[in-house]
Structure 1
Amino acid sequence: MRPVVDPALSPDEQARLLASPAGLSAASAAPPPAPRWGGRTPGDALLAIPVATLCGFLPAVAGWFLLGRKGLIVGAVLQAGFVAAFWGGLWLVLVAGTALQLVSWVVLCAFGGGEDDGTELARVHHGRYYLEADFATGNLRPWFGVSLRELMARAQEAVATVLESEVNTAGLLDEIANSVTLPQHEWEIGQALAELTRIGRQVQKAAAEGGGSARVREVLEPQRQALRVSAEAVTRRVEALERYAERTRGADAAYREWRTLQELEELSADTREVLARTVRDELAVAEIDGLADRAGLLPLRDSLEEARRAARVLAEPAAEQV
């Protein structure tokens, strides 16, 4: 199961979070603490010394290496000043180079190295993404009647099926903003399942500590029923996604069949021309005219319309879905 990321984050932030799942921390766990010194280590300081030396005595080369063309311009100006220092004697060259080296080392330590962007993003946006650990497995199935982790995986699979389908890529489902609405459905389902998991784990812990007495069982039963009802509501929402995905698969099959028939239709153009010249009776003419009707457009239209109807169910308010 891939991480469930808040679609309100920018596409770049979402992509970077999904690209480094190993650095993410479950929303149900404590957020990772910010590293000291921004994550910089003594090794970073040592590594900056040779680069700072290059900046100190060959700033044009270092500027090109570090910043490209803009750095080359700045480095060339510093290099010109460095060359001019030769007129003041060797001691001035050494003082200027050493001073530039020290300044470069401070700048490199301040702005280079440290915590990478992916780790920082995972820390800053902790709680705006969910991992497998945030969803209950089979150990809480008696409380919910279903594995919440499996339910989340089913929702993700249905969303991926629609978004990666040929008819969606071809724009044949353009009446529905799939790229916007489906990730939002996935996120809302993830939020609901993560919250149910959190409550379910707390209730299960309390039940275990209560020793299973009759009074404890009496109090727990309404909570068990409430958790099951909530899980059933989310399950219906996931099933609506799966129905949409199933209709999309049917539309994909019809679309592939239509494209194949279109290709065959083009390849058989010469054959139809020969048939038209050879056979002149009305039966042959009717057969030739009917070839276009058998191109598979009607099944494709029907399949697309079924997919659109399934999508419209998802567009209804959450209250109506439940």
Structure 2
Amino acid sequence: MDSRRRPHILIDPSLPSAVASALRADPQALRAARLGQLPRPRLPSASRVGATVAFLLFLMGLSVTAGLIVITVVVVVSSMYRLRGEPESRRERHRVRTAMEHRDRFILPEDLDAGCGDLLRRAQEAVEAVLGSEINRASLLDTIDNAVTLPEQTWQIATGLKRLSALRTDHRRLVPVPPPPEVAGAFAPYTGALETAERSLEGRVRALEEYAGQVRRADDVYLAHLRLQALAEQAPRYEALVAETAEDAPAASGLDHLNEQARQVERLFHESVDEARLAARHLLAPPVPDPGPDPGTPPPVPGP
């Protein structure tokens, strides 16, 4: 998959913010947790050990009894062992343990095959477009709480894509390509189930993209509306300029329709916001299941 189209790491939005922030801050810890690789504790550096040994030798030169030397060595070495190396090593292990505890609450780009990764990236781009829009910042899209609903929608899509990717990988490994003609029908229901799931998930992504497209159009009209409002405040200056410089009266007639044009743009703006809200309602509507292959009897399993 093209790196420019790879999806972002996705964290379950229902996680507490502190946990989500910790997971998001260290992608390498997430990858180590996914592989089940807890970093080994690092012992103190050679320079630290050398400095400690030099200090002990200095104490030996000053000590009056061998017992004091032995006690000093035991205390220092045991303290260094308890520290288990540098503090960063302990923090790294803690981050990986946290990721292991929540291994099902994040999705990495490598969890998805190329097709599913592209779908997730499309969904993320649509959500970013909506949340970054001017009309969303101005709280004009009050049909749904975008900051809550859209991340939940993206997470649901992503978890479905992750399951589809895993099952499709197993499917490619088990199903011969092409299957022998005499048993091809036995494999068809399984292939059809994967295709049905992919169509359903792609439909949800397209719904997000349609919503984002409506928001972009509403954004363009909203910005034009704001600029026209600013120009309307300057209308007397324009009228004065024309009155002073025009050679004949009809030349000023073009400014007579300023207010009407501004009202038309305002109506267009409200219509575009209404269309975006309608797209949001469609987004929240329960998806219509694709009938797909007949789910009646289970498909026959071919013999060895």
What is the TM-score when the length of structure 1 is the normalising length? 0.66
Corresponding residue number in structure 1 for 2:99? 122
Q: Distance in 1 between matches of 2:237 and 2:161?
A: 59
**Misfit runs of 4+, over 6 Å:** 101-107, 273-277, 284-287
Q: Distance in 2 between matches of 1:302 and 1:252?
A: 12
1:132 equivalenced with 2:109 (yes/no): yes
Residue deviations 1:52-95, cap 9 Å, x none? Answer: xxxxxxxxxxxxxxxxxxxxxxxxxxxxxxxxxxxxxxxxxxxx
Match of 1:292 among 249, 253, 259: 259
Give how far 1:299 is off: 1.4
Helix, strand or coil for the counterpart of 2:233?
Answer: helix
Corresponding residue number in structure 2 for 1:248? 215
Q: Distance in 1 between matches of 2:134 and 2:32?
A: 34
- Unpaired segments ≥5 residues, structure 2: 1-6, 52-71, 292-304
Bigger relative CO (Cα 8 Å, ≥ 6 apart): 2
Q: Which amino acid aligns with 1:129?
A: F
Rate the CA distance shift 1:219–1:124 in 2: closer, same or farther, 3 A: same
Q: Distance in 2 between matches of 1:320 and 1:307?
A: 24
Give how far 1:118 is off: 4.2
Q: Which amino acid aligns with 2:118?
A: E
1:7 equivalenced with 2:8 (yes/no): no
Q: Distance in 2 between matches of 1:215 and 1:31?
A: 40
Residue deviations 1:83-140, cap 9 Å, x none? Answer: xxxxxxxxxxxxxxx8xx9698688659944133544433322121112222222xxx
1:42 equivalenced with 2:15 (yes/no): no
Rate the CA distance shift 1:263–1:22 in 2: closer, same or farther, 3 A: farther
Q: Distance in 2 between matches of 1:179 and 1:266?
A: 34
Helix, strand or coil for the counterpart of 1:25?
Answer: helix
Q: Distance in 2 between matches of 1:206 and 1:25?
A: 27
Q: Distance in 1 between matches of 2:145 and 2:50?
A: 53
Give how far 1:183 is off: 0.5
1:21 equivalenced with 2:22 (yes/no): no
Corresponding residue number in structure 2 for 1:83? none
Tell me the matched-pair count: 259
Helix, strand or coil for the counterpart of 2:175?
Answer: helix
1:198 equivalenced with 2:204 (yes/no): no
Contact 1:23–1:119 (CA<8 Å) still a contact in 2? yes
Once the two structures are superposed, the pairs formed by residues 94-109 of structure 1 within 5 Å of their partners are none
Match of 2:188 among 221, 245, 249: 221
Q: Which amino acid aligns with 2:10?
A: V
Contact 1:5–1:129 (CA<8 Å) still a contact in 2? yes
Give how far 1:198 is off: 1.1
Residue deviations 1:276-314, cap 9 Å, x none? Answer: 99xxx9xx89965x5334222111111111110000111
Contact 1:49–1:105 (CA<8 Å) still a contact in 2? no
Contact 2:43–2:81 (CA<8 Å) still a contact in 1? no
Match of 1:159 among 119, 124, 127: 127
Q: Which amino acid aligns with 1:41?
A: R
Corresponding residue number in structure 2 for 1:94? none
CA RMSD of aligned residues (A): 4.0
Rate the CA distance shift 1:312–1:16 in 2: closer, same or farther, 3 A: same
Percent sequence identity over aligned pairs: 31
Q: Distance in 1 between matches of 2:134 and 2:192?
A: 42
Match of 1:302 among 271, 283, 289: 271
Q: Distance in 2 between matches of 1:9 and 1:40?
A: 28
Helix, strand or coil for the counterpart of 1:115?
Answer: helix
Helix, strand or coil for the counterpart of 1:159?
Answer: helix
1:264 equivalenced with 2:231 (yes/no): yes
Q: Which amino acid aligns with 1:196?
A: L
